[in-house]
Chain A
Amino acid sequence: MTIYNFYFFNRNGKCIYYKEWKREKHSGISDRTEEFKLMFGMLSSLCSFAERLSTKEGQQVVRHFRTSSYKLTYIDTPTGLRMALNTDPYAAGIPELMKQIYRIYVDTVLRNPLLDTSEKIESELFASRLDQVIIHHSAYA
């Protein structure tokens, strides 16, 4: 079981945090910011597409998609933050882990009045706490 990497977007679609724990293959896109843009675009298209195709009325929530070798778990908040976490396809308890990451973000970044929340997260406290929860999670090994 493994946790691969993590993307965090703010409401304007800017990638405010990226971290990888294990990534053996790269996307081949030379510019990282380009990859972030594509990721964000894919996620928002996926959400709107899911809503369009829905056979029932009401809001659709995209939770994850899975391939033969990885699973991308996605959550968004009503405030427009979006997070995506890549794990191996059978990792369990990932949505809960992501809610925990959200709480860490609120505690360490949003509650610090001197940080500009529209910019990349530079907070070391956030980084170290994030590392802590990821490394101690049962899906990380």
Chain B
Amino acid sequence: MSKTTKTGSLVDAKKMSAELFTLTYGAFVTQMLKDYEDPQVVTAKLDKIGFDMGTVLADDFLAKSANVPRCQDCKQIAEVLSKLAIPNYLGVPATVSNWSSGDREFSLIIESNPLTELVEIPDHLKATLNYSQVIAGAIRGALEALHFKVYAVAVENASNTEIRIKLDSILKDSLPAGEDY
């Protein structure tokens, strides 16, 4: 996920046009659909790619934003994700809603998801392909790097993208095995 911008001229050299990004991602998913032939496999692959991106983005995010407090619970995670992380990397805001199972599960709603700006998912793929799963994967990867194990699924609604996040457990810092400190 690279930073996106919508201004035409005078663009920051490090940013790329949102359209190019959307088209690149679209071409990429299409090619994967051709190569793997099974939309479910594509969803899984997108999730994996996102996960790998997320593990890197976690550090990138921390290095850039100096004063983010350490998150202790889901509410804080949701707040940082929706107010800082997603606007930072996707260029669009997200809202938090649909809390359930004792504040361990919530949805992030991305109103104008740049990935799907030019995309209409055909009916036969709707059930099996999670087009924006890469975002969900990235969130999962980033949170896992911060010792939160979560499940994340991206669902395309008619007008927005919903990312459903469920906190599973908080991981312990792992020390090298067999060493007694």
Contacts and interface: CB of A to CB of B under 8 A. Distances in A.
Interface stretch (B3-11, B62-70, B85-93, B100-108): B62-70
Nearest to A104: B63
B122 interface: no
Contact of A106 (B63, B146, B179, B181): B63
Contacts of A105: 59, 63
A110 B63 CA distance: 11
Given A44-B181, A78-B70, A79-B145, A13 B60 contact: no
A54 interface: no
B62 A37 contact: no
B174 interface: yes
B13 interface: no
B175 interface: yes
A106 B61 CA distance: 9
Contacts of A99: 63, 66
Interface in A92-109: 99, 102-103, 105-106
Interface of A: 11-13, 37, 41, 44-45, 59, 77-81, 99, 102-103, 105-106, 110-111, 117
Interface SS of B by simple majority: loop
A41 B70 contact: no
B175 A78 contact: no
30 contacts: A12-B174, A12-B176, A13-B176, A13-B179, A37-B179, A41-B179, A41-B181, A44-B181, A45-B181, A59-B70, A77-B62, A78-B70, A78-B146, A79-B58, A79-B59, A79-B145, A80-B145, A80-B147, A81-B59, A102-B62, A102-B63, A103-B63, A105-B63, A106-B59, A106-B60, A106-B63, A106-B64, A110-B56, A110-B59, A111-B56
A44 B62 contact: no
A106 B175 CA distance: 23
B97 to A, nearest CB: 26
B173 interface: yes
Contacts of B59: 77, 79, 81, 102, 105-106, 110
A78 B145 CA distance: 8
Interface in B155-181: 173-176, 179, 181
